[in-house]
Structures are given as structure tokens and as C-alpha cells.
Amino acid sequence: MKRKIIQFLDVPDSTLGKTFSIFLLSLVYISIFHLVIEVRYPEIISANQELSAFTRYFILGIFTIELCIRLICSPNRWNYIKSFNGIIDFAAVVPGLLEITLGLPADLLWIRVLRILRFFRILKLFHYGKVKGGITGALTPYFAFAIGLKGIMVAVEGQEWWPEISNLNVVIGVVGFSLAILLGTKLQVINNRLYSIEDAVCRIIGALRDMQNNKEVLPHIDHWAKELESALFYNGQNKAEVIRQMRSRTDDLEQKLEAVGIDGPNTAGFHRDVAYLLHRALASTPPAYEEFLRTVIFSYTIVVITTVPGITGFLATFLLVYVLGGLFLLIDDMDKPLDVGPNSLIYVRLDPLIQFNDKTR
């Protein structure tokens, strides 16, 4: 039962579990919204002190109950306390408990700063694994993090100690244009790669159909085609070894073809296309380019969150995460064109190879 409870909290896979996770996330946002009202509009809090106190204590109570349940049900409490999730859970309740036990006023600056730590509960979404539902679903944790961070910025940007930042429009515009060039260049390269892979598959199948007229090599061709399909669809950790074995089997097939007199331009083009297809099965964008692009997008989004104030900042944050984040995820998925799975967004069509093998199954 304890294991099921921890799984219910950490990896929600049922409707009830997902609903409860959304409920906890909504409490984080309510806490941030309440902090914004406290800082920016204290007269509203003064006029509704009972409602304000109820909101604070209700959120604190839920988070405290959740923390107690985790401490009771965790198989190793000390490991949980030291873990990422444990630190975040404690950070969500410690400020409120200090406020109650020490009899401190809720409007103390350092208490408010500690309450901001509840925001980091949003980061737990990144530990739930990839969210299904296409690009929008995959971006859900990033939306939650960016919007929550922008809410905190709204709370602090009206303070006297917060520096006034201006005249960044030109810089933001130039960086945005540079990002468009970087993303567009990668998109063009990968898009051409998708078409070239599909063309190579079509040429390989065309060559196989000509070769299969020779009855001596027909069984070898049929067996090799099935192995090629399995190798291309393989998504395990040792895919490099699978592709290496497929190259060896292609060399063996070449020897059998030459033994029966099948050679010339047709087989030369066939082997070239197979070599290209197997190479593309492992090729990817250089890590340095990928890391640089990811860092620039993250930095650009943070700058916009911290410099564009108010409602305009919320809208800008939403659009940035959706457009830049979505485009990055889309291009990153396109960079793995032969990975076909439930979370794949774009992949090449291997219909000619599949149909060729269907006729021999």
C-alpha cells in the first residue's frame, strides 16, 4: 500500500492521480497569485484578512499533509529528504510552519521570500517523464515553470529595490532574429534529410524488386529486407551495434549477389543507398550546436520574463515558450527521423519497405 501511495504521488498514471497532481499545481499558482496581491495590492489583503489567512493556511495544510504522507510511506526516508523532490516538498511548508510556530507576521520580507520557494514544486513536473499529447503536451512543464516564474517577477518588479531595466528592445529583437536564423538553418537541413532518407528507401526497394527475379538469391533478399526493417525500427540502447550487424549482413548479401552474377550499376547504387540509410540511422546534430541552441533559447526566455513587465510579460512569456520551445522540440524530434514510437512527432515513412516485406510474410 505504501508503494502504491508513493507511485500515486510521484508517477500519476490514473485519472485520480493526474487530477490530484493538477490540484497541487493549482495550489502553487494560487500561492504565487496570493503573494502578488500581498505585495502589489496590500489594501486588498487588509480588506480581506480572513480570506487571506484561510488561503495561506489551507495551502500550507495540504502541502504539510502530503509531506507527512511521503515521510510515512517512503521506503527510505533519509534518501527522500536528501532527494530533489524532498527538498522541494520541505521548502513548500517550512516558511508557513515557521510563521505559525514563531508567531511571526505573514508580511515579513524573509517569510515572503521563503514562501516563493513553493514555486520550485513546479519543477517536479519535469520528473514525471515526457507528457503525452504532442508538442503542447510536451511543453506543459515548461509552460508551468515560465508562467509561475513570471508571476513571481510581477510580485517583485513593483518594489523599490527592483532595478528598472529599459532600452532592451533592440537587443531582444536582434537576438530573436538570430534565433530564427539558427532554428531555420537546422530545420532546412533536417527537412532535406527526411526527404533524402525516403528517396533512398524507394531506390533500395526498386533495386530489390529487380534482383528478386533471380530465384537463387530471392530467399536471401527477402530475409535481408526483413532484417533491415527490424534494424531501422529498433530503438534500444545498443542501436549502434544493431546497425553495425546490419552492415555486415549487407556485405554478406553483396557476396551472394556477385556469386550469381548480379552486379553493375544497379547493385552499386543499391549498396550506396543502404550505406547512406544505415549511416542516417545513427547520425544526429553535433552536440555543441544543440547545446548552444538550447542555452540561447533558455537565456532569451529568462531575459524576456525578467524585463517585460505586467500582462505584456505574461503574453510574451506564453508565446516565447510555445513558439521557441515548440519549434525546438519539433526540430529535435525531426533529428531522429527513424525513431518511431508513441511520443514521436515526425518521422520518415518506410511504407515501400514495409509493403515489400508484407508480401513475403
Render pLDDT for 166-207 as a digit per residue (tens, 0 to 9).
667 777 778 888 888 888 877 787 778 788 888 988 988 888
Is residue 156's pLDDT more than 80? no
The pLDDT tens digits of the residues spanning 308-359 come to 877 788 888 888 888 888 888 877 777 777 776 666 777 778 888 888 888 7
Q: Looking at residue 122, what DSSP letter applies?
A: G
DSSP 16-78: HHHHHHHHHHHHHHHHHHHHHHHHH-HHHHHHTHHHHHHHHHHHHHHHHHHHHHHHHH-SSHH
Give residue for cell 549487407: 250
- Return the closest-CA partner of residue 353 out of 281, 297, 264: 281
What is the pTM for the complete model shown?
A: 0.64
The pLDDT tens digits of the residues spanning 202-232 come to 988 888 888 888 888 888 888 999 999 888 8
pLDDT grade, residue 130 (50/70/90)? very low
Instruction: State mean pLDDT over 105-117.
Output: 58
Residues 6+ apart with CB under 8 A from 347: 336, 337, 338, 339, 340
The pLDDT tens digits of the residues spanning 18-74 come to 788 778 878 888 887 887 787 777 788 788 888 888 888 888 888 888 888 888 888
CATH 1.10.760 fits 2-129, yes or no: no
pLDDT grade, residue 248 (50/70/90)? very high
CA distance linking residue 243 with residue 279, whole number of Å: 8
> Tell me, what amino acid is at 36?
V
Q: What is the mean pLDDT of the chain?
A: 79
When mean pLDDT is compared over 106-110, 248-252, 257-261, the highest value belongs to 248-252
pLDDT grade, residue 127 (50/70/90)? low
Phi and psi at 345, nearest 5°, equal: -95, -45
Instruction: State mean pLDDT over 11-15.
Output: 74
Is residue 4's pLDDT more than 70? yes
CA distance linking residue 60 with residue 52, whole number of Å: 12
- Annotated domain spans of the chain: 2-129, 185-284+347-358
3-state helix, strand, coil in the chain (%, to 5): 80, 0, 20
Residue 210: per-residue pLDDT: 83
pLDDT grade, residue 126 (50/70/90)? low
pLDDT grade, residue 152 (50/70/90)? confident
